[in-house]
């Protein structure tokens, strides 16, 4: 549950203590996700070009009814 999740500041405090111990630094963080990125350097990547359009509605699978075998 959300009550069991650490606060973002706790994540940053931990990351800032951990990073130097493993020869890294805190490169980025995202408060709403409560995450921190630890690494040596930020390396930008190039995203591939979009080759086709996907349908707006991919559909939703119907719920399955699973029955456990009786012993």
Structural domain boundaries in the chain: 2-39
Q: What is the pLDDT of residue 58?
A: 77
Q: What is the pLDDT of residue 57?
A: 78
Q: What is the pLDDT of residue 16?
A: 98
Rounded Cα–Cα distance for residues 44 and 67 (Å): 49
What confidence category does residue 6 fall into, taking pLDDT thresholds of 50, 70 and 90? very high
Q: What is the pLDDT of residue 41?
A: 96
Q: What is the pLDDT of residue 11?
A: 97
């Amino acid at each position: 549950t959300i009550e069991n999740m650490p606060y973002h500041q706790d994540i940053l405090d931990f990351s800032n203590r951990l990073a130097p111990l493993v020869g890294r630094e805190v490169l980025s963080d995202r408060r709403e996700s409560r995450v921190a990125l630890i690494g040596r350097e930020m390396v930008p990547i190039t995203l591939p070009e979009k080759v086709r359009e996907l349908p707006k509605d991919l559909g939703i699978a119907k719920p399955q009814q699973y029955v456990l075998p009786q012993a």
